Structure formats: C-alpha cells, structure tokens
Homo-oligomer: A and B are copies of this chain.
Amino acid sequence: MSKCEQCIIRQFNALKSLHKEDLVRITSCKTSKVIKKGAVIFEEGENINGVFCIREGICKLTKLSPNGKEQIVRLVIKGDLLGQRSLVSNEVANLTAVAANDMEVCFIPKQEIVHNLSRNINFSMDMLKSMADELKLSENIIVDMAQKTVKQRLAETLLYLRENFGEDINGFLNIVLTREDYANIVGTATESAIRLLSQFKKEGLIATEGKKIKIENSEALKLVE
C-alpha cells in the first residue's frame, strides 16, 4: 500500500495542503482500488462517505434522464478529487461516476476530510477554489448548451480533449471515447455525433483510426458554425 506522504498526485489537488501527520493518518485508513474500464465507482443517490483521489485514469460523471439518455456532465481526471461536492453538502451523490478507462484510485473516508476541513484553512481554501473552478466550467457549459449548435459543441469538445489530455506520438488524442460518449458529452443523439465526425473527417478537420481521433485542422475546428 502506497503512502500518501510520498504520493506526488496530491500536488494536483487540495490534499497538497495537508500536514505530514494528517497524511500519515490518511495513509492508514485509506483504501486503494483498481477499477476496470466501464465499472461504476458510485451511483446517483448513493451515499459516498468519502472522496476518491484519482491516481490514474479518467472517469465520466454522468446523469441518466427520465427518457433513458445519459449525459456526461464532466470528466474527472488524474489528480482530481472525486466526490467533494457531495461530501461538502453532506448529500448523496448527484451524479454517477463511471471509469472511462482503467483507473487507480484511493478512497479517503469522510471523517478524515471533514477533520481537516475543520482545522486546516489552507485545505478548505483549496477545496473552495477547486469548487469555484468547477462552477465556472459548469456555467460556461450551460451557455454553450443553450446557444451553440451541436456541431460547434462537438468541435469544441475535440479541442477541449486535446487541451486537457494531449495527443500521442502520432497526433491522436490520448483519450479514447466511443461515438456514444461524444454524443453524451455534447448532448445529442449518437447518430448525430457519428454523422458530424464523419463530416469533419470528410472536410479534413480531423482524421480517425477506429475510435482514435486526430485533430488535423484546429483553426477550422475553432471556426465551425
């Protein structure tokens, strides 16, 4: 079992502000988990009772609508804390967390986080800041959803993914999603996402190889109308 005091991942989230002794205590009560692609980490309505620190992999935060369609609200990535909001509000999960690829996470029980929130100002300020960032992101997504076309949102999603996950040696996006995932991020039908990706390909904006996607002309993607 790895030690939090020595874990570099905490540099990327609020845990960086914890003191040595707190980290030692967390090490002794945390649990590490390996999660397979597609596995559910927690579901909407579930009591989480802690937060997950993402050591490796990507997780989709989704919500199922009454009509059976799934919306991907946000992607949580390596270094992020998962479940902060529910913990702070002391509520059950509002979203479902599903592994987008194989993941490695540590689960830190609620009382440890609460303990530090109530004693360590730097820690709670960090938490506050990351929540503020998420809020800004969400507000901007609302505006995009309301005012941009599906095509524009898909183009922006591709650019966002490259920005946040980078590309491999051949220029393909490091993150590999199904067409259905793209549709669920953009908020459209799977067929529409497929059709638009085909169109982007035909127009030379992207190249594809199976599920892998490469951005060929980011300037044109930015200008999509």
Q: Say how many copies of this protein the assembly contains.
A: 2
Knowing A65-B147, A94-B136, say if A71 contacts B142 (CB, 8 Å). yes
B146-A88 in contact (CB<8A):
no
A114-142 Cβ-contact flags toward B at 8 Å (1 or 0): 00011101001101110111111011111
- The docked-state distance in angstroms from the alpha carbon of A192 to that of B143 is 18
B85-A136 in contact (CB<8A):
yes
Asked if A170 CB lies within 8 Å of chain B CBs, one says: no
A139-B73 in contact (CB<8A):
yes
B132-A85 in contact (CB<8A):
yes
B117-A187 in contact (CB<8A):
no
- The docked-state distance in angstroms from the alpha carbon of A146 to that of B128 is 27
Residues in chain B near residue A84, CB distance under 8 A: 132
- The docked-state distance in angstroms from the alpha carbon of A2 to that of B65 is 47
B125-A118 in contact (CB<8A):
yes
- The docked-state distance in angstroms from the alpha carbon of A21 to that of B69 is 52
- The docked-state distance in angstroms from the alpha carbon of A91 to that of B187 is 29
- The docked-state distance in angstroms from the alpha carbon of A146 to that of B136 is 18
Chain A positions 82-103 with a Cβ under 8 Å from a chain B Cβ: 84-85, 88-89, 91, 94-95
Give min CB distance, A172 to chain B, whole Å: 27
Instruction: Provide a sorted-by-A list of 8 A–B residue pairs whose CB atoms are within 8 angstroms.
Output: A63-B140, A67-B147, A71-B142, A71-B146, A88-B128, A121-B121, A135-B138, A145-B145
Interface residue ranges, A against B (CB under 8 Å): 63, 65, 67, 69, 71, 73-74, 84-85, 88-89, 91, 94-95, 117-119, 121, 124-125, 127-129, 131-136, 138-143, 145-148, 187
